[in-house]
Amino acid sequence: MASAHLSTTDLQEVLAFTTSLARQAGELILAGSQAILQSGNVDEKKNSVDLVTEYDVKVEELVKGELRKKYPSFDFIGEESYAAGQRPPLVDTPTFCVDPIDGTTNFVHGFPHVCVSIGLIYRKSPVLGVIYNPFLDSLYTGVQGQGAFLTQRGQGPLKLPLAVPLPLPSLSQALLGVEWGSDRSGSIVRIKGESFARLAGNPKEGVEGGRMAHSLRSLGSAALNFCMVAQGGLDMYHEIGCWPWDICAGAVIAQEAGGLVAGGHGSPLDNQVTEQILSGRKHIVIRAIGDTKEETGLQAQQRLIRDYYETVPDYEPA
């Protein structure tokens, strides 16, 4: 690639390379999962929930090494390197944003919702995403302005969302993605527990402010939650505490599938994933919604996000 300017052709080239690389990383993830389950050799970080293993580093080294050989002028942000103190500010230069193993706790336990997530930021905004779950052989891809797709078990690629977007009148008809996260301090657990109770609870049976959503789901992977919203399997996903590498690739995939991505309470609902949104650690995404006579799909997305934020309290992540 001759320059730092990215054309449509350049992005297609990057997509082809990162797709192949994600599959290589997936093979390493599968090998690591088997080795860990057989040996029980796991290092812990922070607490028993936020597990990190040597394979986080191995996968990041593989991905980082191959990306730097292919694209030496591009910058790189990754979970393990970031944690080690390398925190470069975003610039206009193309920057890969990688989570080597998203869903580490699932990875350790053999729960098959684990992925490698490779995002590309250009001019401080995500423009490309590749997310691969090797356990289910599910590959999600998205490029700004070029759509989002799912390739699974040799079939596809299938354009996302997988079905014609239906209307969504209220949260009471929604399947919502939520996560407990790694911060299990008393105050955070109480806030989340109360929020989940209001989202799921029946207001006619004693739950004040209850929305009685169809149900709540936790996949244990921010990237795969974004993909499930893009696919249409989840109606909405919200979490406080994610990092840029958790949501970068997924944001592109969700947007290209007609979803709306935003930050925390009071953030603009303009579907612009700016540097502030990307790094803000508060994220919400809602699936594509069909138009009705009363409102457009976009108006419905904005209304439902506001309704959601009226239901759950805001707080600052640790």
**Residues catalogued as catalytic:** 79, 99, 101-102, 104, 246
Give me the phi and psi of 130, to 5 degrees please. Answer: -130, 120
Cα(20)–Cα(300) distance, rounded to whole angstroms? 37
Q: Are 164 and 204 in contact (CB under 8 A)?
A: no
The answer to whether 163 and 232 are in contact (CB under 8 A) is yes
In this structure, what token pair is assigned to residue 25?
Answer: 């990383």
Q: How far apart are CA 253 and CA 148, in angstroms?
A: 5
| Alpha-carbon span 226 to 215, nearest angstrom | 17
DSSP letter string, 84-145: TT--PPP-SS-EEEEEEEE-HHHHHHT-S--EEEEEEEETTEEEEEEEEETTTTEEEEEETT
Report d(CA 202, CA 235) in Å as an integer.
19
For 201, the 3-state DSSP assignment is coil
- E strand or H helix that includes residue 103: none
Rounded CA gap, 283 and 47, in Å?
A: 23
Helix-helix angle 54-70:8-39, to 10 degrees: 160
Cα gap 44→231, rounded to integer Å: 33
Contact 104, 53 (CB under 8 A): yes
Q: Going by DSSP bridges, is the β-strand pair 115-122/95-102 parallel, antiparallel, or unpaired?
A: antiparallel
Q: How many CA atoms lie within 13 A of 159 on its CB side?
A: 8
- Nearest residue to 30 (alpha-carbon basis) of 52, 58, 69: 58
